[in-house]
């Protein structure tokens, strides 16, 4: 039974306020904290910010107050049943985008309830999530955002993320491979662009003073050993008046598709995330028809929203999805999105946000819903490493059980 609920304002990895939730039951206290994105799609659930003089308007005291004064009376005394608690909060919010109570309010409580429910069943969180979702567990392949661009960097390229995907036999070996690659790449960047270009962006990746996306791809290929590449274009971020501002060029949809065909043929790219504007379902379909069996990954296009996913399926716009629990605003709804992706035969990439905390919930979540991949930034910065370290332990514990 839920005995108490308390929220507070803490700071995320960008130094911005976010919500932390402590939920108490007869068996203990369960703490969760909520991430926040810099590059956010228009269809995401809405986090609640104060918009006042504190923290340049980014405070979350209204969200904290909603938890302490509005959500707490609704759930204290209730049994620890995640599906029921999430439903109570969603109904109390009363909006499609969670702008009533705030997605950051609802999600923090939802995460803590799932943690408490796992504890009630004496199960690791990933095991409980698998049991709850009725999806088969899987240790995901990590995608490391090794070079940051776009909204995550302030550098000279438009594309937001350049990820390497190792192909070793275990998560542990994939992590080792990525760390070694990171150190090698740091030296190459220093030689090519100067030591100042080895500074890191929001997600722990380097921000070299490159002048084009191709320049970065060549750098990754030069260093690559048994590693594929996924790029997160985040095309909506540089789309305006029907054109995409790529460096000094302005490209229309057909020119962007032609550019993707060119780089896919020249580099070891296995996936492109958000290649076109977030509402251009027919353009995404055209890209898929032109580019073959590559992963075309919906993030802003889908916003972890089942209705958007069904629309994308109708258009055949993508064959993979980014799954972010704060995009939809509750864990149970994120699980429904994972189920829908499995039904469609899509690959699932569970993702962090650029404004993160040390909370490692998404590591267990990725395993519990059987995600194919996880991305949590480069193997640098503590809030990124927290997720990878948790996955190391999950893999080790799983291997012990299976031996």
Radius of gyration of the chain (CA): 21
Q: 121: which residues sit within 8 A by CB, 6+ positions away?
A: 128, 131
Which positions ≥6 away from 379 have C-beta within 8 Å? 144, 175, 178, 179, 182, 204, 385, 388
CA atoms within 13 A on the CB side of 313: 15
Number of C-beta neighbours around residue 399 at 10 A? 12
Residue 324 annotated among the catalytic residues of the structure? yes
Q: Strand (E) positions, 26-140?
A: 28-33
Ordered strands of the 249-251 beta sheet? 239-240, 243-246, 249-251
Catalytic residue (choose from 20, 44, 203, 383): 203
Separation CA 278–CA 300 (nearest Å):
5
Closest by Cα among 82, 88, 86 to 117: 82
Three-state DSSP at 143 gives strand
**Is 203 annotated as catalytic?**
yes
Q: What secondary structure letter does DSSP report for 206? A: B
- Residue corresponding to tokens 């791809």: 217
How long, in residues, is the chain?
Answer: 403
Catalytic site residue from 58, 98, 324, 387 = 324
Task: Give CA–CA dist 282/312, Å, rounded.
Answer: 9
199 Cβ contact partners less than 8 Å away, ≥ 6 residues apart: 206, 207
Residue 336 has a CB neighbour count (10 Å cut-off) of: 17
| Separation between Cα atoms, residue 9 and residue 35, nearest integer Å | 12
- Residues labelled catalytic: 203, 324
């Amino acid at each position: 039974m839920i005995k108490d609920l308390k929220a507070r304002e803490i700071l995320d990895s960008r130094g911005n306020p976010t919500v932390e939730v402590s939920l108490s039951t007869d068996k203990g206290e369960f703490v969760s904290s909520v991430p926040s994105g810099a590059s956010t799609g228009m269809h995401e659930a809405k986090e609640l910010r104060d918009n006042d003089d504190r923290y340049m308007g980014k405070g979350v005291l209204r969200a904290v107050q909603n938890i302490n004064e509005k959500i707490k009376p609704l759930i204290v005394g209730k049994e620890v049943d995640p599906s029921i608690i999430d439903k109570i909060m969603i109904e109390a919010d009363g909006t499609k985008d969670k702008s009533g109570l705030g997605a950051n309010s609802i999600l923090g409580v939802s995460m803590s309830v799932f943690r408490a429910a796992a504890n009630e069943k004496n199960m690791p969180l990933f095991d409980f999530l698998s049991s709850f979702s009725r999806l088969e567990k899987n240790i995901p392949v990590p995608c490391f955002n090794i070079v940051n661009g776009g909204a995550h960097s302030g550098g000279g390229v438009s594309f937001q993320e350049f990820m390497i995907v190792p192909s070793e036999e275990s998560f542990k070996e994939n992590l080792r491979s990525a760390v070694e690659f990171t150190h090698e790449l740091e030296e190459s960047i220093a030689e090519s662009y100067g030591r100042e270009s080895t500074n890191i962006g929001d997600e722990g990746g380097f921000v070299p003073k490159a002048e084009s996306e191709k320049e970065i791809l060549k750098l990754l290929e030069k260093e690559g050993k048994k590693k594929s590449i996924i790029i997160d274009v985040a095309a909506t971020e540089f789309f305006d008046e029907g054109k995409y501002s790529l460096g000094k060029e302005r490209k229309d949809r057909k020119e962007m598709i032609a550019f993707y065909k060119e780089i896919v043929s020249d580099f070891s790219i296995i996936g492109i995330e958000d290649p076109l504007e977030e509402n251009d379902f027919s353009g995404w379909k055209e890209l898929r028809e032109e580019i073959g069996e590559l992963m075309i990954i919906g993030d802003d296009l889908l916003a972890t929203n089942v209705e958007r996913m069904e629309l994308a399926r109708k258009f055949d716009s993508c064959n993979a999805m980014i799954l972010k629990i704060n995009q939809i605003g509750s864990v149970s709804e994120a699980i429904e999105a994972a189920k829908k992706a499995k039904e469609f035969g899509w690959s699932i990439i569970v993702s962090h946000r650029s404004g993160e905390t040390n909370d490692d919930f998404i590591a267990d979540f990725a395993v519990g819903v059987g995600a194919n991949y996880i991305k949590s930034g480069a193997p640098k910065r503590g809030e990124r490493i927290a997720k990878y370290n948790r996955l190391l332990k999950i893999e080790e514990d799983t291997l012990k059980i299976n031996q």
